[in-house]
Homo-oligomer: A and B are copies of this chain.
Amino acid sequence: MAKGYVHRRTKLSQVTQDVVATAMGREPADLIIKNGRLVNVNTARVQDGVDIAVRHGLIVLVGNAGHIPVTASTKVVDAAGRYVLPGFIDTHDHVESAMVDVRNFAAAVLPHGTTTIACDNHELTNVFGLKAVRLFHDAAEGLPLKVLVAMPVCVPSIPGFEDAGATITAADVTTAYSEGWAALQGEQMNFPGLIYGDPAVHAITRASLEAGQVLTGHYASLALDEGLNAFVAAGITGDHEGTTPEGAMRRAQLGCYVQQRYGSAWLDMPNLIRAVTENPGLDTRFFTLVTDDVSSATLVTSGHLDRVVRKAIRQGVSPIQVVQMVTLNAAQLLERSREIGTVSPGRAADMLIVSDLVAMTIDQVYCDGVLVAEDGELVVDITPYDYPTWAVESLHLDPLTAADFVVPAVGNAPVKVRVMRAVPGRVHTEEVIVEVTPVDGALRADPARDLMKVAIFYRHAPVEAGATDPAKGTRTVGFVTGLQFDPAVAIASTVSHDCHNLLVLGSDDDAMVAAANAVIGINGGMAVVVGGKVVAELPLPLGGLMALDSAAVVAKRVEAIEAGLKAAGCPYDSAEMTISLLGLIVIEELHLSNRGLVALKPGQPPAFVDLIVEG
Contact = CB atoms under 8 A, between A and B. Distances in A.
Give the one of A13, A64, A214, A335 with max B CB within 10 A.
A13
A184 to B, nearest CB: 12
A283 B43 contact: yes
A253 B42 contact: yes
A36 interface: no
A102 B545 CA distance: 59
A28 to B, nearest CB: 14
A21 interface: yes
B61 A345 contact: no
A142 interface: no
Interface string A22-46: 0111100000000000001111110
A233 B20 contact: yes
Given A12-B235, A42-B252, A42-B253, A17 B229 contact: no
B44 A194 contact: no
A35 B210 CA distance: 34
Contacts of A231: 20
Q: How many copies of this chain sit in the oligomeric assembly?
A: 2
Most buried by B among A23, A256, A338: A23
Nearest to A38: B253
Interface stretch (A121-129, A195-203, A481-489, A564-572): A195-203
A600 B210 CA distance: 49
A448 B340 CA distance: 63
Contacts of A412: none
Contacts of A457: none
Given A13-B235, A282-B44, A254 B344 contact: yes
A337 to B, nearest CB: 8
Interface centre among A64, A252, A285, by most B CB within 10 Å? A285
Given A206-B13, A226-B24, A335-B335, A346 B286 contact: no
A282 B20 contact: no
A58 B235 CA distance: 11
A237 interface: yes
Interface string A264-297: 0000000000000001011101100000000000
B345 A249 contact: no
A23 B227 CA distance: 8
Contact of A233 (B42, B61, B234): B61
Given A43-B253, A197-B21, A252-B43, A229 B60 contact: yes
A43 B209 contact: no
Interface in A153-210: 194-197, 199, 202, 205-206, 209-210
A494 interface: no
A225 interface: yes
Contact of A225 (B11, B64, B342): B64
Contacts of A206: 13-14, 16
29 contacts: A12-B234, A13-B205, A13-B206, A17-B197, A19-B233, A20-B196, A20-B197, A23-B195, A23-B230, A24-B227, A24-B230, A41-B283, A44-B282, A45-B279, A45-B283, A60-B233, A61-B233, A62-B253, A62-B254, A214-B338, A229-B345, A230-B345, A232-B344, A232-B346, A234-B346, A254-B345, A255-B345, A256-B344, A335-B335
Given A19-B234, A235-B346, 17 more contacts: A13-B235, A16-B234, A17-B199, A20-B194, A23-B233, A41-B283, A43-B253, A43-B283, A43-B286, A61-B229, A61-B230, A62-B253, A229-B345, A254-B345, A255-B342, A332-B332, A335-B335
Interface of A: 11-14, 16-17, 19-21, 23-26, 40-45, 47, 58-64, 67, 194-197, 199, 202, 205-206, 209-210, 214, 225-227, 229-237, 249, 252-256, 279, 281-283, 285-286, 324, 332, 335, 337-338, 342, 344-347
Top 10 closest pairs, chain A to chain B, by CB: A255-B344, A23-B230, A233-B345, A13-B209, A44-B283, A232-B345, A20-B230, A61-B229, A60-B233, A233-B346
